[in-house]
Chains A and B, each alone.
Chain A
Amino acid sequence: MTLNLCVLTPNRIVWDSEVKEIILSTNSGQIGVLPNHASIATAVDIGILRIRLNNQWLTMALMGSFARIGNNEITILVNDAEKGSDIDPQEAQQALEIAEANLRKAEGKRQTIEENLALRRARTRVEAINAIL
């Protein structure tokens, strides 16, 4: 029994095939999904999605939104998603540093929140690369 996983962003379909297991990070923690999981509709946080195909783990950086799990079909709708293998380590590290610098400089509540989000996104991308290695 395998799960059918669909990861969709507004611009394209990032992933659409069968997997054995996934680990998803939601607002209330990480959940692991195996075949025949109970039906769930959940919000997805900015974090890493781990996919297991035949004892090999793949990572993907997700930038938040929704997931629906039911009848061995998982649909994840995210604002943006990048496969770990597609991210350039240098560039991700740089983005992380820039985001951290911006956060320190941020003034006012709105900017702080925005920079916080940018920092989390950058951190997720770096983690996605590191997790494969």
Chain B
Amino acid sequence: MAMAALRREGRRFAPMISPRPITALRSSPLAPSLEDECPIGVRYISTQVVRNRMKSVKNIQKITKAMKMVAASKLRAIQTKAENSRGLWQPFTALLGDLPSANVKKNVVVTISSDKGLCGGINSTSVKISKGFHKLNSGPEKETKYVILGEKAKAQLVRDSKKDIELIITELQKNPLNYTQVSVLADEILKNVEYDALRIVFNKFHSVVSFVPTVSTVLSPEIVEREAESGGKLGDLDSYEVEGGETKGEILQNLAEFQFSCVMFNAVLENACSEQGARMSAMDSSSRNAGDMLDRLTLTYNRTRQASITTELIEIISGASALEG
């Protein structure tokens, strides 16, 4: 009975066996072609190939899991610092207001991005916003210049806006992120770039899964005076008696510089947090994808293995029956 069944199976398989060149198969993408050919059960794909692929996918999964954990621990460290620095620029906003709509001639866009990749889409969103700003503010009188912090934004902006870039600063993360470092940086920027309004573009860290691109505006003292005269939030500034120096202008200048360095400090920290958070979620999804791929490859492997066993059996049995009969 069993022999008859096997013979029937042999007959079913035999006409479908078609010789296929192995090389062509190896060059095409492995997973879809295997799924097409497997039901036929031809022994032209070796289990070795599938096993190699499974090993490499497993390694990738281990690496991405480790990267996710590293990012999580770095995030914990920076998060407390970022939250503490948030309180710093709030008094400035309360006093001077944050006016994204201020109409000024010389805009400088400070784009903050990361140095390393594999962190999701945060750098592209920052660059997109910076470019949008540039387009909005480039007209006959107005001009926009870039100051770039971080390799990733540099790579994207150098391609098409090379002439508008004033200053590029990279490898921020190598120095410890504290206020002194950032104030030195802010000093450099203020010295080399003349501006009416500084727009700092960064990703604000709301939670581990949400990073919102934000623009903070710091106005130069002259513009502050001008806006104060036109009333509104800044109009209250005049009601403050300003002491502690020779002239009011000098104090306002100091205030503007201090405001810039505080806002920069907060922006850099928030961007670092967003980078780690984005990296965590990117690595998490890639580990999950690797897991899925591994499952599919395991199924393919088992099918291939069973197919090869079946064909061996068929050969043996048909050989044996040929000898008998």
Contacts and interface: CB of A to CB of B under 8 A. Distances in A.
A111 interface: no
Contacts of B95: 41, 68
B91 A8 contact: yes
B202 interface: no
Contact of B242 (A12, A41, A65, A79): A41
Interface residues of B, number: 24
A23 B289 CA distance: 62
B19 interface: no
Contacts of A39: 239-241
B258 A65 contact: yes
Interface string B226-269: 00000000000101111111000001001100100010010000
Contact of B85 (A11, A44, A65, A79): A11
16 contacts: A8-B87, A9-B88, A10-B88, A10-B178, A10-B179, A10-B265, A11-B85, A28-B243, A39-B239, A39-B240, A39-B241, A41-B251, A43-B243, A43-B251, A45-B244, A70-B240
Contacts of B48: none
B242 A40 contact: yes
Contact of B244 (A10, A11, A26): A26
B241 A40 contact: yes
Given A11-B178, A41-B95, A68-B91, A77 B258 contact: yes
A6 B94 CA distance: 14
B58 interface: no
Interface in B79-106: 81, 84-85, 87-88, 91, 95
Interface of A is mostly: strand
B88 to A, nearest CB: 6
B84 A43 contact: no
Nearest to A27: B244
B262 A10 contact: yes
A79 B187 CA distance: 15
Contacts of B178: 10-11
Interface in A1-43: 6, 8-13, 26-28, 31, 38-43
B239 A75 contact: no
Contact of B84 (A12, A40, A65): A12
B262 A40 contact: no
Contacts of A57: none
Interface string B48-87: 0000000000000000000000000000000001001101
Interface residues of A, number: 26
Contact of B243 (A13, A31, A65, A75): A31
Nearest to B237: A41
A77 B88 contact: yes
B183 to A, nearest CB: 8
A43 B91 contact: no
A42 B240 CA distance: 9
Interface in A76-98: 77, 79
A13 B241 contact: no
B242 A11 contact: no
Top-7 shortest CB links A-B: A10-B179, A43-B244, A42-B244, A26-B244, A42-B243, A27-B244, A75-B91
Nearest to A16: B87
B148 to A, nearest CB: 23
Contacts of B245: 27-28, 43
A11 B265 CA distance: 10
B300 to A, nearest CB: 55
A79 B71 CA distance: 30
B88 A8 contact: yes
Interface string A34-61: 0000111111110000000000000000
A11 B179 contact: yes
Contacts of B251: 41-43
Contacts of A11: 81, 84-85, 178-179
B84 A13 contact: yes
A40 B81 contact: no
Contacts of A45: 244
A9 B262 CA distance: 10
Contacts of A40: 240-243
